[in-house]
Structure 1
């Protein structure tokens, strides 16, 4: 690991069960010498690197979310598509990115949470709302750029 990253204590937490950008996280973390914690409800294969840690949480409904949210803070980058988890982590001061590269911020997370709740209510009422658009190469590229910018911003803040 690089010396500045170790001193900075920057950790990337990955809400990993359905995360399509784990390999991209590993690439960026290797470049900057960052620690990655991959959190899941079941066993996931990860590269055998001393800077990548696998955490398997219990089967509880929000066990992975709770584990990440309890550790998120100003020196953390959280990768998740889960809007309620993103909201909790933003409140804790973490940098939070969706797999498509969109940042959750104080300014955006409230609207994202309201939209998520509205869509859930529509689905529960029987409305057909469709699903998210398919994950694309453009999303992957946007994520790589956003993660790189988040790391650079946190390193400069040290």
Structure 2
């Protein structure tokens, strides 16, 4: 299993959790972004800078992800594409996207896009809180543990 991180919008605290997990659990983890980010020196942690543009990092992740890999993203279409390739997808808030819930999440996303396009102020997501960080860390640990035991 490899971990692929949509790093453009990934919160710093989540990146820190992933840095620690990659080293501690010896999991290849690649951060992709269209701007440079600092990653600690590690044989398990990689950074790949992609060109600027809409969904360029997402497209690169979809191209590289394989069955059984894990994608970290809050981007619902990217999560859907990863799931369709047999990968797992986890949001920085700790929500595990699955075959069972991804279609409804896509529908909600499309509905909110339509509302915003019609001028309705929908606001952004709430700030990441301690519970979100804990949910993420717990789900990440369960996924890695299950993979390493199989």
The bucket for the TM-score relative to the shorter chain is over 0.9
Task: Give secondary structure in 2 for the equivalent of 1:59.
Answer: coil
User: Is residue 23–residue 42 contact of structure 2 (8 Å, CA) maintained in 1?
Assistant: no
Pairwise CA distance, 1:129? 1.1
Superposed CA RMSD in Å reads 1.0
CA displacement 1:41-67 (0-9 Å, x = unmatched): 011111111211110011121110000
Give the number of equivalent residue pairs: 148
Where do residues 106-125 of structure 1 align in structure 2 (5 Å cutoff)?
106-125=99-118
Match of 1:69 among 31, 45, 62: 62
Aligned residue number for residue 97 of structure 1: 90
Match of 2:73 among 65, 80, 83: 80
Match of 2:10 among 13, 19, 25: 19
Pairwise CA distance, 1:156? 3.0
Q: Which runs of 5+ in 1 are unaligned?
A: 1-9
Task: Give secondary structure in 2 for the equivalent of 1:87.
Answer: helix
CA displacement 1:50-85 (0-9 Å, x = unmatched): 211110011121110000011212231110000010
- Give TM-score scaled by structure 2 length: 0.95
Q: Which runs of 5+ in 2 are unaligned?
A: none
**Separation in 2, partners of 1:105, 1:154:** 17
- Give TM-score scaled by structure 1 length: 0.90
